[in-house]
Structure 1
Amino acid sequence: MEIVSINVGLPQTIMYQGKELVTGIYKYPVSSSLRVSKTQLDGDGQADLTLHGGTDKALCVYPEEHYAHWEQVLAQKLEAGTFGENLTVRGLLEDQVCIGDIYAIDDVIVQVSQPRQPCHKLAKRLDWGDAVLQVQETGYTGYYLRVLTEGVISKNAEVKLIVRDEAGVTVAYANQIKYHEKANIEAAQQIAAIQALSASWKQSFLKRLAELGA
């Protein structure tokens, strides 16, 4: 389990179909080590703080293993950071990582908080109208980390699992229930009960359960 690339970028204004769009999805690899706080890496930023950033989404992670698939779909070479992730990683796929898992990255301690939910800005960055749907369908979403202990992350850092969450709910399973098994009450209850789950995803599952009469 290792970091392939550390990527940061500040919000910028782009033109898309004749309209201005402010977005922080443009992240680019850096060669230096960077300090990470409870909310973000140094030199990084988000445009819409109602949906991005904050303690539950301090770091966005995306597995390098998915890039080959998307390069084939889009018929183009994609560099690390294309999916707006801060950390491009290897050996930490969605079906291997559980919500609530705690990892050490150098002296930084992080915890998996939720799957990454793709937004329309990814579609606009790549001029790829089906981006959100395809990311959801494949389950190649990536995920977010909250920072439990601040520190410095280096590009060559190893990622070590410290604690496996007792619920054992993988990011892949949470995605499956979120997008494909929307009437699965038992699974929704299990996910909503995970203490480490982000506030926004917990609220989403509780709302679904209320609508299902559970």
Structure 2
Amino acid sequence: MKNFTKATIHNLSIGTPKTLKYGNGKEMQSAIEKQAVGRVFLAKEGFHGDQVADLKHHGGPERAVCIYPAEHYPLWEQEFQKTLPPATFGENLTVSGMLEQDVYIGDIFRVGEAIIQVTQGRVPCQTIDRRLEMTPLMKRMVKTGFTGYLCRVIEEGEIRADSDIELVESHPEQISVLYTNEVNFHRAKDIEAMTKILKVDALAEEWRKHFEKRLEKLTASR
């Protein structure tokens, strides 16, 4: 990992599905509105007390922890002229010192008593726009690659809001979250880049299948 010195937790948050009202009287179930906690146990499936509404696109062992860089908050606040609440993006950990450009897929971190591994970038959904009526925030996240990222749990344990974050192992392939986001969102025909990403053994299975399917179509059309 590039330039990793120290990362800091700004918010530790969990939540359960609630009715989210948006637009002209529309409603949906979402767990994006999370609440700050002082401490919580992190299991293989995720944090105790943390749930998702959409099991297809959220949750599961390879998406057990959602991290979002605190450094992006001022950017979005300035661009949209709105003060953002804590855990705006439904993340469990809001951290500084762990930007997408500096974190590699497969990097392993100790957070409190737990050990986690980065598996994939996050694919933002429309719920992010709907929560605070901030369209086109989702599209801006996709364009910039400032999506945050997801992790699997290697070792369960308690995490506190003031826990230290330590880099245990930097993945040797050195494929950053920002690079995978760029290829996924903007370089759909870049065979070399996708082949490079697929060399990362820690890549989430969903993303692996996604890139393999793209490559299959591209090579078949040659």
Same topology, TM > 0.5: yes
Query: Which amino acid letter does the alignment assign opposite residue 192 of structure 1?
Result: L
Matches of residues 94-113 of structure 1 in structure 2 within 5 Å?
A: 94-113=100-119
Query: Which amino acid letter does the alignment assign opposite residue 85 of structure 2?
Result: E
Between the aligned partners of 2:49 and 2:136, the Cα distance in structure 1 is 30
Between the aligned partners of 1:19 and 1:181, the Cα distance in structure 2 is 35
Between the aligned partners of 2:198 and 2:57, the Cα distance in structure 1 is 19
Between the aligned partners of 2:102 and 2:164, the Cα distance in structure 1 is 16
TM-score, normalization by structure 2: 0.93
Q: Is the 8 A contact 2:44 2:64 kept in 1?
A: yes
The answer to whether residue 127 in structure 2 is matched with residue 128 in structure 1 is no
For residue 176 of structure 1, give the secondary structure of its aligned residue in structure 2. Answer: helix
Give the count of matched residue pairs.
213
Q: Which position in structure 1 is the counterpart of 2:169?
A: 163
Query: Which amino acid letter does the alignment assign opposite residue 163 of structure 1?
Result: E
Offset, 1:102: 0.4
Matches of residues 80-95 of structure 1 in structure 2 within 5 Å?
A: 80-95=86-101
Could you tell me which of 13, 18, 33 is aligned with 1:26?
33
Gaps in structure 2 of 5+ consecutive residues: 1-6
Could you tell me which of 134, 145, 148 is aligned with 1:139?
145
Gaps in structure 1 of 5+ consecutive residues: none
Offset, 1:47: 0.3
Query: Which amino acid letter does the alignment assign opposite residue 207 of structure 1?
Result: K
Could you tell me which of 176, 181, 188 is aligned with 1:175?
181
Matched-pair identity in %: 39
Between the aligned partners of 1:203 and 1:37, the Cα distance in structure 2 is 25
Task: Point out 4+ residue stretches in structure 1 off by more than 3 angstroms.
Answer: none
TM-score, normalization by structure 1: 0.96
